[in-house]
């Protein structure tokens, strides 16, 4: 099938590319744009490792076509520490509170948490649990992740104050 | 997993979408949020030759009140937008159901219209909308608009009464009323969240009868039969009673009356039917607790 021209703003940078209609957004992010921070875990819309922000809302990029994202703003985990030196406060909290072991689910956890904190800057644990309902972790255990998000939200509130 | 190749058309207006459906309806599928369709395409259980993307039709998005007090919800309104709407959340059973659907990411993309036309036999919203007596507004390029009660629209698993050239554009809910209590309860399959058995209950007193009886009783069941259905025998048993424990027990025993109860690896027939009765009891009891 004919390629379709799309425009995306990815982590603040305008990108133009031509994609097959069946190309998944996660393939465009990882393979066309080389942003491999976003992971593919299950490829069936269940694990949440591929979560990115699409116009500010957390979505599973394995269950969005790249052509559906035409004209949208995409934010991936690479946007959190753009200079690769200073971690985002949420990332710092994951390090501090042992929010990761293998780290494969972490980019998705971070992006899902950012969607939550944008709506609810001071989330309680129930709100955090609900926010990461669509993100699976197979090694760390969820409690340190919940603690990391709670601490990260607090650090972000301090940073904003 | 990669979907089979397909042609792609993005509609920039409702008229263009309807024209595309008229020309390609036989071999095309409409995509909005894609949260049900894309997984099926990746598994190649669905292989449409063309996708008609209506995701940009902002005219089909949003919630407004009609002059007669009914609530009109655009078919492209996402679950997340429904959750943010006080007018939608005024329906207690909707408040019960929405947070249990998918997860945050699915609710950010998935739409109310998509949930209806996908017509999964175990999805939540069709049961909720059945219990609310919702109406669907469908449009086609050649025949214009028609209104279909949701009970007439759900024909079977993944099958609706919409024609190939028709697009679901709006869902209309009767005005929420203080004379009604409602609730939705489900036993969810743990991994998917879909209903093994889910029951939506609406209990109403339309003319405040002195004996406290409910004269408008609606029970809708999902996950149990070939499609979400109204449990009419159970409704009839409950109507005219005050929904005391004995009346509820009699009614919920009829909740799968006349239904071919489904069986799968998650629940056999006997268990699923028993859970339908349990969820019906819980939904009725919760509806009784709600302000009326």
Residue-wise pLDDT tens digits, A141-153: 999 999 999 999 9
Residue B174 vs residue B1, higher pLDDT? B174
Query: What percent of chain A has a predicted confidence (pLDDT) above 90?
Result: 94
pTM of the model: 0.95
Q: Which residues of A touch B (CB under 8 A)?
A: 1-2, 4, 20-22, 24, 43-46, 48, 51, 54, 57-60, 63-65, 67-68, 70, 112, 115-116, 130-131, 133-135
| Percent over 70 (pLDDT), chain B | 98
d(CA B115, CA A75): 27
For residue B66, the tally of other CB atoms under 10 A from its CB is: 12
Per-residue pLDDT tens over the stretch B144-158: 999 999 999 999 999
Which of A57-66, A109-118, B13-22, B178-187 shows the lowest per-residue confidence on average (mean pLDDT)?
A: B178-187
**Amino acid B24: pLDDT:** 96
CATH code of the domain made up of B7-53: 3.30.43.10
Instruction: Please write the tens of the pLDDT for every residue from B25-38.
Output: 899 999 999 999 99
Both tokens assigned to B207: 């003319």
Q: Is the pLDDT of residue B214 over 70?
A: yes
The pLDDT, as a whole number, for residue B141 is 97
Residue B177's pLDDT band, with cuts at 50, 70 and 90, is confident
Q: What is the pLDDT of residues B74-101, one digit of tens each?
A: 999 999 999 999 999 999 999 999 999 9
Residue of chain A whose alpha carbon sits nearest to that of B9: A21
pLDDT score at B211: 77
Q: Mean pLDDT, to the nearest integer, of B160-177? A: 94
Asked if B99 reaches chain A (Cβ–Cβ under 8 Å), the answer is: yes
Give the per-residue pLDDT at B47: 97
For residue B207, name the pLDDT band (cuts at 50, 70, 90).
Answer: confident
Per-residue model confidence (pLDDT) at position B212? 81
In this structure, what is the dihedral angle of CA atoms B219, B221, B225, B226, given to the nearest 10 degrees? 100
Alpha-carbon distance A159 to nearest alpha carbon in chain B (angstroms): 26
Average pLDDT over residues B237-256: 96
Question: What would the mean pLDDT of B228-236 be, rounded to a whole number?
Answer: 98
Is the Cβ pair A22, B4 closer than 8 Å?
Answer: yes
pLDDT band at B191 (very low <50, low <70, confident <90, very high): confident
The per-residue pLDDT for A82 is 84
User: Would the pLDDT of A159 be above 90?
Assistant: no
Architecture of the B180-289 domain: 2-Layer Sandwich (3.30)
Chain B residues within an 8 Å CB radius of A3:
none
B223 pLDDT higher than 90: yes
Q: What is the mean pLDDT of residues B216-243?
A: 97
Q: CB–CB of B182/B87 below 8 Å?
A: no
Higher pLDDT, B192 or A119: A119
- Residue B229 β-bridge partners: B221
Cβ <8 Å between A130 and B55: no
- Which domains, from first to last, does chain A contain? 4-77 (3.10.20.30), 89-160 (1.10.150.120)
pLDDT at B208 over 80: no
pLDDT band at B291 (very low <50, low <70, confident <90, very high): low
Per DSSP, what are the bridge partners of residue B159? B156
Nearest residue of A to residue B39 by CA position? A44
DSSP per-residue codes, chain B: --PPP-EEEE-SSHHHHHHHHHHHTTTEEEESS-TTHHHHHHTTS---SEEEE-TT-GGG--EEE-TTS-EEEETT-BHHHHHT-HHHHTSHHHHHHGGGSS-HHHHHH-BHHHHHHH--TT-HHHHHHHHTT-EEEEEETTTEEEEEEHHHHEEETTEES--TTEEEEEEEEPPP-TTEEEEEEEEE-TTT--EEEEEEEEEE-SS--TT---SEEEEEEESSSSS-EE-HHHHHHHTTS---HHHHHHHHTTTTTT-----BTTB-HHHHHHHHHHHHHHHHHHHHHS--
d(CA B50, CA B284): 44
Q: Are B106 and A134 an interchain contact pair (Cβ–Cβ within 8 Å)?
A: yes
B34 touches chain A (CB under 8 A): yes
- Mean of the pLDDT values across residues B188-193? 90
Does B292 have pLDDT greater than 70? no
Q: Identify the pLDDT of residue B210.
A: 65
Q: What are the sequence ranges of the domains in chain B?
A: 7-53, 64-173, 180-289
Indicate if the pLDDT at residue A161 is higher than 90. no
CATH architecture of the domain B64-173 equals: 2-Layer Sandwich (3.30)
Q: What integer pLDDT is reported at residue A151 of this predicted model?
A: 98
């Amino acid at each position: 099938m004919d390629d379709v021209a799309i425009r995306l703003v990815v982590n603040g940078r305008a990108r133009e590319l031509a994609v097959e209609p069946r190309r998944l957004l996660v393939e465009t992010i990882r393979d066309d744009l080389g942003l491999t921070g976003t992971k593919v875990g299950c490829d069936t819309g269940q694990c949440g490792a591929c979560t990115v922000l699409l116009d500010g809302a957390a979505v599973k990029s394995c269950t969005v076509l790249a052509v559906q994202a035409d004209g949208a703003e995409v934010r991936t985990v690479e946007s959190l520490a753009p200079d690769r030196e200073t971690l985002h406060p949420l990332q710092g909290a994951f390090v501090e509170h042992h929010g990761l072991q293998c780290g494969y689910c972490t980019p998705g956890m971070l992006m899902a948490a950012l969607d939550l904190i944008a709506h609810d800057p001071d989330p309680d644990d129930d709100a955090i649990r609900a926010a990461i309902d669509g993100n699976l972790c197979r090694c760390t255990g969820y409690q340190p992740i919940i603690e990391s998000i709670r601490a990260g939200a607090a650090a972000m509130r301090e940073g904003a104050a | 997993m990669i979907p089979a190749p397909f042609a792609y058309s993005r509609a920039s207006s409702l008229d263009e979408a309807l024209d595309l459906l008229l020309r390609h309806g036989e071999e095309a599928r409409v995509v909005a949020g894609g949260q049900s369709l894309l997984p099926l395409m990746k598994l190649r259980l669905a292989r449409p030759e063309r996708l008609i993307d209506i995701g940009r039709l902002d005219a089909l998005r949003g919630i407004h009140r009609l002059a007669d007090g009914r609530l009109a919800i655009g078919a492209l309104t996402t679950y997340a937008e429904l959750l943010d709407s006080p007018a939608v959340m005024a329906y207690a059973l909707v408040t019960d159901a929405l947070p249990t659907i998918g997860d945050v990411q699915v609710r950010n993309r998935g739409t109310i219209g998509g949930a209806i036309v996908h017509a999964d036999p175990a999805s939540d919203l069709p049961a909720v909308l059945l219990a609310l007596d919702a109406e669907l507004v469908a449009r086609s390029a050649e025949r214009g608009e028609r209104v279909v009660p949701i009970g007439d629209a759900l024909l079977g698993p993944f099958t609706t009464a919409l024609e190939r050239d028709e697009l679901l554009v709006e869902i209309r809910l009767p005005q929420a009323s203080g004379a009604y209590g409602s609730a939705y309860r489900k036993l969810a399959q743990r991994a998917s969240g879909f209903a093994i058995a889910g029951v939506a209950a609406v209990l109403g007193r339309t003319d405040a009868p002195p004996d406290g009886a409910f004269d408008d009783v609606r029970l809708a069941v999902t996950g149990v039969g070939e499609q979400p259905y109204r449990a009419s025998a159970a409704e009839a048993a409950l109507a005219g009673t005050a929904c005391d424990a004995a009346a509820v027990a009699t009614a919920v025993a009829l909740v799968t009356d006349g239904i071919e109860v489904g069986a799968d690896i998650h629940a056999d027939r006997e268990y699923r039917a028993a859970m339908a009765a349990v969820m019906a009891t819980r939904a009725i009891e919760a509806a009784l607790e709600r302000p009326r």
